[in-house]
Structures are given as C-alpha cells and as structure tokens.
Structure 1
Amino acid sequence: MQHIVSGYRGLSLLVNLNWDRILYLVTILVALLAGGFIGSL
C-alpha cells in the first residue's frame, strides 16, 4: 500500500509540473482528429 501511495504522489507531482505540456499534446491530438473527421466528409 505504501508503494501505491508514493507512486501516486510521484505521478501527481509530474502532472503538476507538466500540465501545460499535457494540455498542449491533447490539443494537438484533438485538432488532428477534428481535421481527419472534416477531411472524411
């Protein structure tokens, strides 16, 4: 149980430090999916 808690703390620290990069990647993925959808119409 201790390993799970420490792993969760480490993961949340990484997310807190890099949330803007994660948002940037998600935005690019959404734009690519939207472009593919519009292109297939």
Structure 2
Amino acid sequence: MSNKIELMKAEIEALVSMTEEDACKEYNVDSKAEAVQYIVDYWV
C-alpha cells in the first residue's frame, strides 16, 4: 500500500511541474485540479 501512495505522490509532483495546458493534454481533462482527482482516483 505504501508503494502505491509513493507512486501517486510522485505522479502528482510531476503534474505540479507541468503547465495547465500540458496537464490538460496529458490527462485529457479541463484543469490541473481535475487531473489531481483523476490521479487520486486511479491510485486509490
């Protein structure tokens, strides 16, 4: 379980360094906030 959390945190950290536009393209969403929710839903 701990490993999943670390992977999720790493993915969110990578997302934070992206521009809003890049994050939207990468995750096919409308905002970074939506991308964060997508990542959390995927890993949890």
TM range (shorter): 0.3 to 0.5
Q: Normalising by structure 1, what TM-score?
A: 0.46
Instruction: Report which structure shows greater RCO (CA 8 Å, sep ≥6).
Output: 2
**In terms of Rg, which structure is larger?**
1
Structure with greater helix share of residues: 1
